Structures are given as C-alpha cells and as structure tokens.
Structure 1
Amino acid sequence: MDGQENGFDVIVAGAGYVGLTLAVAVAEARPSLNVGVVDAAPEGVWQRDGRASAIAAAAIRMLERLGCWEEIAPKAQAITDMVITDSRTADPVRPVFLSFEGEIAPGEAFAHMVFNRDLNAALRRRCEELGIDLIEGVGVSGFDTGTRHVTVHLADGASLATRLLVAADGVRSRLRDMAGIGTVHWDYGQSGIVCTVGHERPHGGRAEEHFLPAGPFAILPLAPAEDGTNRSSIVWSEKTTEAERLVAEDEIVFEAELETRFGLKLGEIRVLSKPRAWPLGLTLARDFVRQRFALAGDAAHGIHPIAGQGLNLGLRDAAALAETIVEADRLGRDIGGLDVLERYQEWRRFDTLRMGITTDVLTRLFSNDVAPLRAVRDLGLGLVERMPRLKDYFIRQAAGLSERAPRLLRGEAI
C-alpha cells in the first residue's frame, strides 16, 4: 500500500455484523484490496450472544450475494405476517388495528429472524475464505491521519497503516470521538428488555407488536429449537427504572410480568435466556466522514427498536460504503479521499435522518396513555389498514427495497 510493507487498504474497527459485512463486501468485489478487521472484544465472545435480529429482505439478498445466507437459512425463521395492536396491559382484548402480509414477492418474506451468533459465524467464515485479517482482543487506542494513509495505533502497542479507517465500533464509538465528530443525542428514559421465550403452541411465523403505555412490546418468531421447543424473541420497552427492576427479579416474578403482556394465545410460556436491558435513545452523528475516515452502523446512528430497523440501517451503510470504495478503486481514485467518502455520506444521510425522525415520532406518539393521542393514532392505523397501496409501500420500505438502494441490497454484484 503506497509502498508501505504490510499495509492495508481498508481497516474496519469493530467485528459486529456491519463491520464484518463491509469487510466481506469489499474483499469479494475487489480482491486486490487488502482488508483487515480489528475488534476489542475477546476472541469467541460473540458465540455467547443469545439475541436474535430481524433481517429485512434487502439485507438477505445481500447476504445471498456475499455467500452467507445458505449457511444461515436453515436456522432462520421467516416472518409470514405481522399484526399491530394499541392497548393497555390490563385490557382483556387487544384488537388488531393494522396487519401486514409477510411476502414482498411469491416465496420471499419481507424479513427473517436470525440468531446473532449464526449471522456472525457465517460472516466470519467468509472473512476467512477471502483472506481478511481479523485481529481480536485488541482495540484501537488512537490514529494519526496523514496525506496518503492513516496510522492506526492498537492497544497492545502495535501500529498499522491503512488508506481508509472505518469505525463500526457501536453507538458509543470511541473512534468517532477521536475523529472529533459530534452527535445529536437524547435519552427516552426507556430501556429495552431482550430475551428468548419458549411456548406451548407454534407461532406460525407471526410477529406481533403491542403498543403499550410504557412502550412497544414485540413478539418476534424464531425457528424451533433442536428439541422442537417453540420459541419467540421478546423486545420489551419499559421505563428504565421499571426495566431494571424486572431484570433483577427472580425468574418466577419476571415470567408472571411477562405473561401479562405476552398473553396466553401460545399457551404456557417460559424464559429460555437471561433477560437483559439496554438504555434506549436516539444518537445521530453530525458527520459520517472525515479525510480517510468513515462511520458505519451504530457508530453513525443509534435508533429506537420500535420499527426493528437498527441493524438493517447499518447493513445499508455497509452496502453503500462498500460500493463507494469499490467503484472509486476501479476508477483509480483515492478510496480514502474526502471527495470519495462524501458520496457515501450524501447517500446515507437522508435515509438515516428520515429513519431517526420516524422512530422518534413513533416512540413519542405511542409510548403514552394520553386519550386524545390514542384516538388519533388508532384512527391513523385503521386508515392505513384500509389502504392496500399504502400498506404495500410501508412493507417495501421495511424490507429495505427502494430505488436508491445499493446494488448488493438489490441482489446484484458491485
């Protein structure tokens, strides 16, 4: 690289799904580029992640193109339909105000539920096959930007040179701070409780989102366990003090609280994984790029899970940045140049801002029990239910299928 021995063309800081997807996408499309991934987490810690995520259809098309989906698919669960209710916890009946069919095309679900460790394992396998260097257990302690490269300093004292450094190190990104990029942030006073539950009866692939006064309560279908246990993933928003109390309770008390929200439609339920809570807020980076530096994923934006789009928003970043890098390199341009990276920023900023505003409005509109607001939002849900074209538009947006989507998200090679 520019005459530097053992130099990289791209270093990605953060071995989460966004960072690994970006590395795989660049290395597959442009094998001549030397790509490395650096991650501060201890080796193997990702295997203990019991959470699951909703992967939209566009992201699945990308994973197919990158050679990962075939490995993931047998363990994934298609979301065949989705229903939305707006009620109180104690209401004996929760009427459905809005429902969505689960297919955007015959045989293609608008989303699948995937265990995080399965997604991570498939991406890591492709990294190995493509010769991507994966340095684990050591973080980036700092970096110096020069005219032709960035010198990346690792916590163990080593230094690496690269033409482009990408920060995919999460919503509390240290690299973003090091680059001097500020954020817009506010806290919702809520925390998201996440766990996996088992239940007597099969879910039939149905996802449910109940808008309760304290926040949304989502039931997301998972593939059955190896022993045949029916499973679902819970994403449960509560006021932070209440969430902290709930996860600290013993299993019997927690399950009793869960049952009042989950209901009995799937029979007896039991918690299969230890509930954990994360604070919820909105974080938007004021800039996505600097000279030889770019943000991707949660380092660029952290949003409320009310629309289930956080991970998919990050995967759209990965697809757009990979296409920007690959096309620039094919044209002989400097992949770390600010003029090149500003194309990525322009591409992603509007989508990110729109999703941030949407989730913020939905959170404020639905996380309350104010009677006039309840009437307005229920009327709005009912109107959408009666407008098939509008429903189709919303489902395609949720699936990540738009005209400006990067090639990988359309299932095309870069």
Structure 2
Amino acid sequence: MKHQYDICIRGGGIVGHTLALLLARERLKVALVAKPPAQPAASAADVRAYALNAKSRALLESVRCWPDAQHATAVTHMQVLGDDGGEVNFSAPALDVPALTWIVDVPLLEARLAEAVRFQPQIELLDSPAPASLMVVCEGKNSATRAELGVAFETTRYSQRAIATRLSTEQAHGQTARQWFTQGEILAFLPLGGEQGHSVGIVWSVQENRVEALMAASDDDFCAELGQVSQHCLGQLKLASQRVAWPLQAAQASRWIGHTVDGQAWALAGDAAHAVHPLAGQGLNLGLGDAAELARILQGRAYWRPVNDPKLLRQYERARRAEVGTTALAMDGLQRLFSRNSPNWQALRNWGMNGFERSGQAKQWAARYAMGL
C-alpha cells in the first residue's frame, strides 16, 4: 500500500526534529507529529542544559542547527572529586581536542531545530499521526505510543532524585565542568554563558529523604549548602532560576522495533527506547546516536528495499542496543559504587579514582569514548 509519507515521527523533541531533518535530506517524505514548545512563565527561566559530545555536535552541524558559542559553552577541563581524596582530571589540550564536551542551552537548540524544520519542504508538521511506511516513536520516557504498542519499559529506580537549577557565580567558571561525589550524592557544575561565563547549570543527585527540604529551603540556605559541597570553588553563589526535581532511573524498552497487528512497522528512538543515569551526561548523546544510526541505515539501503524492511530495522536495533547497553551498564555500576556509604566502599572507590587518574591509555580511551571519537 502506497502511503503519502515514508516516515511518521511521533514526538517533536530534539531527537525527533533531528531525525526528521536527517531523513528529509535523503529525499524521504516525513510527517512530524509535534506539539508547539511550551512557553515558560516570565518568572521561570528554563533550567535545561545538556552535555553534547563531538559526535553530537557534528550531527547537529550537518543539519545547520548547532548553537553559537555563547549558547554552546566549550568545556576544556573536567575535574571529578571523590569523598576521600579521590580525584580524576581531564584536559582537552592534553587529548589534542578543542573541547571535551559542550554544554548547550536547550531552548535555543530547540528553536533552531524548529526553524530548520519549518523551512524543509520534505517535512510536514502534523497535530496527529498519519499513515506512513514506518513510524518512529520519539515521545520520551513516558511515551504513550510505546505503551499502546504493548512494549515493556524495564525500569530500575534509584533511591535518589535529581535537582536542577542555574547559578550566577562570583568567579568565572573557566570552561571547567566540576563534579563532586559526597556521602552517596553527586553534584555537577556545568559551565554556561561562553568562555568567560559566570553562570553554571547544576544537577544534584540527592537522597530521596533530602529532596523536600532542599526544594523548600530559602535561596540563601540552598546556595550555602551548594557552596559547602562545592568547596566554594567559584566564590559566592546566587540562584538564577527556579529549582526543579525529578526521580532518577535507568530503563530500556524490551523491544525497539516491530509491527502492529495491522502491519504498521515501527521503531523506538531516544528516551522512548532508553534512559540512563545523568552522572556522565550521556542521555541526549545516546538519543542523537539513535537518530544518526537509523538515518545512516535508511540512507545506505539498496534501492529496492523499502524503509520498513525488517532487515534494516533489525540492523538498527542491534547496533543501538549494543552501544546503549554498554553505556547503561557503566552508568549503573558507577551509580551503585558511589551511592554506598560504608568506609570500605568509600576507600575502594577513591582508590579506584586515583588509579584511573594514573592509568594513562585507559583514561585516554575512556575520555575519547565519552567524546564520541
């Protein structure tokens, strides 16, 4: 049966928009089911910021949607501190790369992707799904379509929540991302505002029983505790946005591809297919990796194979399950290692951090893998 669209993408987030642009570039007719982005209240700044690696940057540059340097801050140094003398440092110059990662303002990236989609004649924005040869679900971790398809989302819930906000800092961040592991919790400072910025985004993974008090604390008290955990490395801190919190989990769909009872081929991508702990900032990189791999497979298919060919979809599932599974396993292992508070575990993880710092080639390999190189 001939459909009006080759592919219908359900979900208009960063992964859905990027996939639509990649497929349209291959002259495929794409329907993108996307809701207009919600407009935050005037008093509520958007706190979202993502760490994107070199591979993700190249992908977004290929569709001309990479933000300017003010909104994609290059991280040239990274410092990770343990809770008993452990320390790991990464340096872009030492690895001969321009940056270890980039911290990207989400609203600006979303706006650039939306603008690019509007000017792409191969993409049609729809309010509801349309028949297509292949349906790709990019609706996020709470995907309704995934549930309708009967796909289990196998979830591991952690006894922590993440708190995110933005801070103004007395001292410039120096293009350095910082992370502290303390008493089973993880605090990250992500540099924002360009090379000379005095702003950081924070993601603080804290125990469930502390979340309510931290969210209710006054701005001064909240910043005082942040200053203590961060060892006052950036001087005086001031809240620059609201605080938001969400539960932490790791998850993966039991199936990534399939057909409905009426023969509709489908595939999952992005957070609809997987979720990992945010401690290494790999979530969106994995989602964009899904988009890149699916687009690559469809672009390279034999002329006689349709986009819903089961062989192509199985190839996509195998490739992405392998990479996502490896990353998820590593993130889960690190989370469990650093969430234990006994003296023996504390000594072990700090010993491991210092050993990794001196490991030479192993440390370089891990850094390049995280950078997508």
TM-score by length of 2: 0.92
Equivalent position of 1:34 in the other structure: 29
Aligned with 1:206 (options 167, 171, 176): 176
CA deviation digits over 1:256-280, x for unaligned, max 9? 2222223322111101010100100
1:64 is matched with 61
What code does the residue aligned with 1:60 have?
R
Q: Deviation of residue 400 (structure 1)?
A: 1.4
1:223 aligns with 2:182: no
Question: In the alignment, what sits opposite 1:151?
Answer: none
- Would you say the 8 A contact 1:46–1:120 is kept in 2? no
Q: Alpha carbons of 1:64 and 1:42: their partners in 2 closer, same or farther (altered >3 Å)? A: closer
Residue equivalent to 1:130: 120
Hey, what's the Cα distance between the residues in 2 that align with 1:180 and 1:39?
Answer: 22
Aligned counterpart, 1:120: 110
Q: Which one-letter code corresponds to 1:181 in the other structure?
A: V
Number of the residue aligned with 2:368:
396
Unpaired runs of 5+ in structure 2? 260-264
1:248 matched to 2:211? The reply is no
Note the C-alpha offset of 1:245: 2.6
- Tell me how far apart the structure 1 counterparts of residues 348 and 313 of structure 2 sit (CA, whole Å): 42
* CA distance in structure 2 between the aligned counterparts of 1:390 and 1:24, rounded to whole angstroms: 36
1:170, 1:297 within 8 Å by CA — same for their partners in 2? yes
Distance 1:106 1:86, change over 3 A: closer
1:169 shift after superposition? 0.7
**Structure 2 CA distance for aligned equivalents of residues 393 and 229 of structure 1:** 30
Question: Equivalents in 2 of 1:63, 1:21: separation in Å?
Answer: 7
The farther-off stretch of 334-343 and 102-111 is 102-111
Q: Residue in 2 aligned with 1:274?
A: 242
Alignment of 1:102-181 (within 5 A): 102-103=92-93, 106=96, 108-131=98-121, 132-135=123-126, 138=127, 154=128, 160-181=130-151
Are 1:299 and 2:272 an aligned pair? yes
Give how far 1:389 is off: 1.0
Question: Distance between the aligned counterparts of 1:133 and 1:103, measured in 2?
Answer: 44
Question: Does the 8 A contact of 2:70 with 2:194 survive in 1?
Answer: no
Matches within 5 A, 1:67-82: 67-69=64-66, 71-82=67-78
Between Structure 1 and Structure 2, how many residues are aligned? Answer: 365
CA distance in 2, matches of 1:41, 1:112: 26
Cα deviation 1:204-224 (Å, max 9, x = unaligned): 111111111232111111125
Return the letter of the residue paired with 1:110.
Answer: L
AA in 2 matched with 1:306: L
Aligned 8 A contact 2:8 2:134 in 1 = yes
The separation in 2 between residues aligned to 1:167 and 1:294, in whole angstroms, is 6
Pair 1:360-2:332 in alignment: yes
Contact 2:173 2:197 in 1 (8 A): no
| Aligned-partner SS, 2:69 | helix
Deviation at 1:312, TM superposition (A): 0.6
Measure the CA separation in 2 of the matches of 1:215 and 1:341.
39
| 2:17 is aligned with 1:20 | yes
- Structure 1 unaligned regions, length at least 5: 89-94, 139-153, 402-414
Give the conservation status (yes or no) of the 8 Å contact 1:57–1:108: no
**Paired residue type of 2:279:** I
In 2, distance between residues paired with 1:162 and 1:212? 50
- Work out whether residues 334 and 340 of structure 1, in 8 Å CA contact, stay in contact via their aligned partners in 2: no
Question: How far apart, in 2, do the equivalents of 1:41 and 1:215 lie?
Answer: 36
Please list the CA deviations of residues 282-333 of structure 1 after superposition, one character each: whole Å capped at 9, or x if unmatched: 11111111131011011111111011111111111110011122223x5221
Q: Distance in 2 between matches of 1:104 and 1:24?
A: 35
CA separation of 1:346 and 1:103: change in aligned 2, threshold 3 A: farther
Q: In the alignment, what sits opposite 2:225?
A: 257
Residue pair 1:165, 1:293 contacting (<8 A) in 2 also: yes
What is the root-mean-square deviation of aligned Cα atoms in Å? Answer: 2.2
Q: Read off the aligned partner of 2:324 and give its amino acid letter.
A: T
SS at match of 1:119: helix
CA distance in 2, matches of 1:170, 1:241: 27
Quickly say closer, same or farther: Cα 1:384–1:341, change in 2 above 3 A.
same
Contact 2:47–2:164 (CA under 8 A) maintained in structure 1: no
- Cα distance in 2 for residues equivalent to 1:369 and 1:42: 41
Residue 103 to residue 173, structure 1, CA distance change in 2 (3 Å): farther
CA distance in 2, matches of 1:344, 1:46: 40
* Aligned residue number for residue 315 of structure 2: 343
**Percentage of pairs with the same residue:** 32
C-alpha change, 1:215 and 1:174, in structure 2 (3 Å) is same
Whether the 8 Å contact between 1:82 and 1:99 is mirrored in structure 2 is: yes
**Alignment partners' CA distance in 2, 1:62 and 1:40:** 23
Change (3 A) 1:388 1:353: same
Counterpart residue number, 2:262: none
The answer (yes or no) to whether the contact 2:160–2:247 under 8 Å persists in 1 is yes
- Conserved 8 A contact 2:72-2:194: no
